[in-house]
Chains A and B, each alone.
Chain A
Amino acid sequence: MLCEQIVIIGTGPLACECVAAARATTPRVSCIAPEEQSMSRLPAICRRLGVEYRCETDRAALGRYFEAIRTPTLVVSAYNAYIFPEAVVENRNLLLVNFHNSLLPRHRGRNAPTWSIFAEDSETGVTWHLVQSSVDAGDVVMRTPLVVAPLVTAVELTRQTLDLGGQTFKTILPRLWSGDDQAVPQAVETRSRPHKSTDIPNGGVLDLTWEPHRISALLRSVDYGGLPVFPPLKVFLHTTEYRVGRYSIAADPAAPHRVTVDPPDVEILGDGLVIRLILAGTNEQEAR
C-alpha cells in the first residue's frame, strides 16, 4: 500500500523524533498524544514543524478516528500505551507499525527495560513491528540490539532505547512510506505473557538474602529517577516492613561478601559491588 499521509501517536522523545523524520518525508503529517503530558516537547516540536497536534485521551474516540480513515495512512505508534482495537487493526487503509523497547519476542508488554535489567540481560534492543491484535506480537520490520551496561538504571536504558528507536525509524521510514511492509514473523515458541504496567519485579520486595548482583539488578530495574512508574521497593526485616529510600551502587572488584544491616542503613558487598541503601519507614509508621 502506497501511503499518502502519516499519523504519529505517542507523547515522549521518540514521538518527537518520528514527527521530525515524518515531516522531512511529507507535509501530510499529524500527531496525536493519547495522554496528557505536562513535560513533553511534542506540542512545541509540532508547532515548530507545522504539524497538526492534538491530545485525545478518550480511547473510544481514538478508535473511531482510526477506524474512519479512508486514505492510505502510515500510523506510527511511538512508545504509546494505547492499544489498537481489532476494528482499527483490520482497517485495510492503515499500515500500523509499533515501537517496542526490547528485542521481541523477549519482554513483551510494558516497561521492557525494567525486565531486561531484572533478568540481567547483557543485550536488549528495539523492535519495530507491524501491529496485530495481540500485544507486541506482530511481524518484525526491524530489530536492533543494544548492550545493557553493567550498572544502567531503568530510566537510562529507556532513554537509550528511545534514542535508538528514533535512529532506526529513520532507516525504516522510506521503506514503509513507499509501501514496502515486508516483515518477519516473531518466534512463536518463545512468546510469553506480556508484562502489565502493574507487574513489578519480585512483587516489589527486595530480599536481602539474595546475591548482591541480583539485588543490584532489582534496584536498578525499578529506578525511573523520580518518575512515578513503580512504588518504592519494600524490605522486610524480621516482622518490620521498610521502604527503600535512596540507594547507591558502585563497582569494587575487591569487595568481600558482607551484609551489614543497621536501619536505616544497609550495606551489601560482594560480586564486585558496593550497594548502600537507606531505608525509610512505611507510610503507616510515618503517620503514627
Chain B
Amino acid sequence: MTKLLEILTEIRPESSFSESHDFLDDGLLDSFDIVMLVSSLDKTFGISIEGIEIVPENFRNLEAIRALLRKHGVET
C-alpha cells in the first residue's frame, strides 16, 4: 500500500479509496476528513498545503491528491 493510501485509510478505515474515482461523490471523504488529510500530508511529507488549496478538485481521487503533492515537490 502506498503512503498516501495508508494515510487515507487511517482517516476512514471503512472506505475503499483505490476503487473510487470520486471520493466526494462516493461519500468517502468530507471537509473534516480533508482537513485531517492535509494535516497528515503536511507532517508526513514536510510540506505546507495552504488553505486556498483545500478545494474539492484537489481531493477528488488519488490522482488529484498526487497532483497536488507533486506541486509541493512530493512524488508518491
Residues of A within 8 A of B (CB): 12-13, 16, 37-45, 47-48, 155, 158-159, 162, 224-228, 246
Q: Which residues of B contact A40 (CB under 8 A)?
A: 24, 30-31
- Closest-by-CB residue of A relative to B60 is A39
The answer, among A38, A42, A45, A155, for a CB contact under 8 Å with B32, is A155
Known: A13-B32, A225-B35, A227-B51. 19 other contacts (CB 8 A): A13-B33, A16-B30, A38-B56, A39-B29, A39-B59, A41-B29, A44-B24, A44-B25, A44-B27, A45-B27, A48-B27, A158-B32, A159-B36, A162-B32, A224-B35, A225-B39, A226-B38, A226-B51, A226-B54
CA distance A166 to B36 in the complex (A): 19
Q: Check if A226 sits within 8 Å of B35, measured CB to CB.
A: yes
- B48 in contact (CB, < 8 A): yes
Residues on B lying within 8 angstroms of A by beta carbon are: 24-36, 38-39, 48-51, 54-56, 59
- Which residues from chain A contact B35 at a C-beta distance below 8 Å? 155, 224-227
Q: Name A153's closest neighbour in chain B (CB-CB).
A: B39
Hey, which chain A residues are within 8 Å of B25, CB to CB? 44
Considering the complex, give the chain A residue whose CB is closest to the CB of B48.
A246
- What is the distance, in angstroms, from B14's C-beta to the closest C-beta of chain A? 12
Set of chain B residues within 8 Å of A155, measured between Cβ atoms: 32, 35-36
- Alpha-carbon distance A43/B27, docked complex (angstroms): 8
Task: List chain A residues, Cβ under 8 A from B26.
Answer: 44
Q: Are A225 and B38 also in contact (CB < 8 A) when A39-B24, A39-B56, A39-B59 are?
A: yes
Q: Please state if B36 and A39 are interface contacts (CB–CB under 8 Å).
A: no
Q: How far is the CA of A161 from the CA of B46 in the complex (A)?
A: 29
Query: In the complex, A272→B49 CA distance in Å?
Result: 29
Instruction: Tell me the smallest distance from the CB of B8 to a CB of chain A, in Å.
Output: 14
The 8 lowest CB-CB distance pairs between A and B, nearest first, are A44-B27, A225-B35, A226-B51, A41-B27, A39-B31, A41-B30, A226-B54, A38-B56
A78 CB to closest chain B CB, in angstroms? 13
Q: How far is the CA of A281 from the CA of B35 in the complex (A)?
A: 25
Complex interface: chain A residues within 8 A of B56 (CB): 38-39
List the A side residues contacting B36 at CB < 8 Å.
155, 159, 225
Measured CB to CB, the nearest residue on chain A to B34 is A39
Given A39-B56, A155-B35, decide whether A13 and B49 contact each other with a Cβ distance below 8 A. Answer: no
Give Cα distance in the complex from A125 to B30, angstroms: 22
A37 touches B51 (CB 8 A): no
